A and B are shown apart, each in its own frame.
Chain A
């Protein structure tokens, strides 16, 4: 599994940035994301639980056989399919899911390649809806989906 990915923002955001000793503002167009660590378990476990609930929500109407095949097929979920699951699952609380992910971002999202300058809550609020949605889907795809889907096997 990768330990770091770079996410390109479609809409750059103005953030505080320390360049050497100089504090300034920059238009950030890349976010550096590190893999979650054990200390993030309180958030990652909830993300996992709710995502699996979303999959079961989608497969509720299917027969046991169909549901099993559907889950089997979802081992290789990409960002697009992840978004479809989150939005299409009935009774899924996507607002709290996004908030939970924003909380996780405080620990895993950085403004610099050296992973030393974390995004703050203010910075995260500036990310556009489209970028945030894509960021969430990409993060789940890269760091979580393979291990999560093993739970369902």
Chain B
């Protein structure tokens, strides 16, 4: 447990032991730029990409499965901190396929990093 306390990944106040690399897409608005004949550029914003994706690889132990199932059951009521990035309103779209004691990736989608 001592190692867990030192972790750099925390979900809902609980340090998480992960294996491999946590992947983060911080999320941002996509700008679409269009040229116009005899006019200035037209710029539109696509907010559909303004969402963070956090992928967490963990060993599928019974404890971790129970913990991440509880995060899934929380809906979008999850907060994630990874090093110096914070994500709120995180939700798991689905639970991954699990093989006993294999490393599985849990994927969250949440608000842009703060």
Contacts and interface: CB of A to CB of B under 8 A. Distances in A.
Q: Interface on chain A toward B: helix, strand, loop, or mixed SS?
A: strand
A interface, size bucket: 10 to 19
Contacts of A23: 12-13, 74, 77-79, 88
A148 B88 CA distance: 44
B77 A120 contact: no
Interface stretch (B2-10, B32-40, B54-62): B2-10
B41 interface: no
Interface in B1-37: 5-8, 10, 12-13, 15
B114 A16 contact: no
A118 to B, nearest CB: 8
Contacts of B5: 106, 120-121
A24 B10 contact: no
Contacts of B15: 120-122
B83 interface: yes
Contacts of A129: none
A122 B78 contact: no
B6 A14 contact: no
Contacts of B12: 16, 18, 23
B110 to A, nearest CB: 11
> Top 6 A-B pairs ranked by shortest CB distance?
A23-B79, A16-B79, A121-B6, A16-B13, A106-B5, A120-B10
